[in-house]
A and B are shown apart, each in its own frame.
Chain A
Amino acid sequence: MNTGRWLKNQWDRTVAVVATLVGGLAILLGWLGASDAKLTTEQLPYLASGAVFGLFALGVGATLWLSADLRDEWRKLDEINQGLRAERERSR
């Protein structure tokens, strides 16, 4: 399977990885910015743009990755259930 098709089929895992990287980068940049700022009033905005936005992005990333796992598991179970239903119909 080529990369483009994989990215399209696994769009949620792709977005999850991107969101996690963005979140990690935001936290790192927020920390660097806050450590360079002298005044508390200069540091606080970095807390919002770095820590809060970083946690937001990490949360979205984790959610999308877990939901991709749940979707895959549900699809497999649904295939099995469809097979069992078809078998039950045939035996009637």
Chain B
Amino acid sequence: MNASATRPWTPDHVVRFAVGNAVGLVLVAAGWWQMADLGVVRDQLTWFVVALAGLGVAGVTNGTWLLRGLRAVTAARAEMTDALASRRTAAAPVSTNGAGYVAAPATARYHRSGCALVAGRPVEAAGRARHEAAGRRPCEACRP
């Protein structure tokens, strides 16, 4: 995976973030400005809705911004986990006595013998069927 492709925010995202919040601020200010000049509650409420719409625009903009950042962090974390798992597999495979896959006691996932997530932990080796019968599912990092 190319890290620069998953960079949290490109200049394009920064522009969208700034424009979205600016539009939100303008709507809030316009709503307030118009409300201050009116003497009827019903008319004021119309402009209050405009101000609330501004708050909504900013909320969606900020939520999208954070979601983008979260996705980039998740992708970088997955890349690191994959790289560590493959490095462990190549460097120091744990013996499974031909039983296939390993799992630490009382855990919910089974792994390849070299998976970084079980490195240094006490593990029991068994075949896929036995792990799955025990209610375990495959590790998302080493994908046994």
**A residues lining the B interface (CB < 8 Å):** 40-41, 44-45, 47-49, 52-53, 55-56, 59-60, 62-63, 66-67, 70-71, 73-74, 77-78, 80-82, 84-85, 87-88
Show the binding face of B for A, using Cβ within 8 Å.
3, 7-9, 21, 24-25, 28-29, 31-32, 35-36, 38-41, 44-45, 47-48, 51-52, 54-55, 58-59, 62, 65-66, 69-70, 72-73, 76-77, 79-80, 83-84, 87
Report chain A residues within 8 Å CB of B83. 81, 84-85, 88
Bound form: Cα–Cα A45–B31 in Å:
9
From the candidates A47, A77, A84, name the one contacting B48 in the complex (CB within 8 A). Answer: A47
Q: Are B54 and A45 in contact, CB atoms less than 8 angstroms apart?
A: no
Find out whether the CB atom of A56 lies under 8 angstroms from the CB atom of B31.
Answer: no
Given contacts A41-B44, A82-B3, A48 and B77 within 8 Å (CB-CB):
no
Given contacts A67-B66, A80-B80, contact A73 B36 (CB under 8 A): no
Asked if residues A48 and B58 are in contact (CB atoms below 8 Å), the reply is: no
Residues in A neighbouring B38, C-beta threshold 8 A: 41
Q: A55 contacts B55, CB within 8 Å?
A: yes
The distance in angstroms between the C-alpha atoms of A57 and B25, with both chains bound, is 9
Extra 12 A-B pairs, beta carbons < 8 Å, given A48-B35, A66-B69, A70-B66: A48-B31, A48-B48, A48-B51, A53-B32, A63-B65, A67-B9, A67-B65, A70-B8, A70-B70, A77-B76, A77-B80, A81-B83
CA distance A41 to B9 in the complex (A): 43
Could you tell me if A70 and B69 are in contact, using CB atoms closer than 8 angstroms?
Answer: yes
Q: Are A56 and B25 in contact (CB under 8 A)?
A: yes
Q: How far is the CA of A71 from the CA of B14 in the complex (A)?
A: 13
Cβ 8 A contact of A70, one of B31, B41, B73: B73
**15 contacting pairs across A/B (C-beta < 8 A):** A48-B31, A52-B55, A56-B28, A59-B62, A66-B69, A70-B72, A71-B8, A74-B7, A74-B72, A77-B73, A77-B79, A77-B80, A80-B80, A81-B76, A88-B83
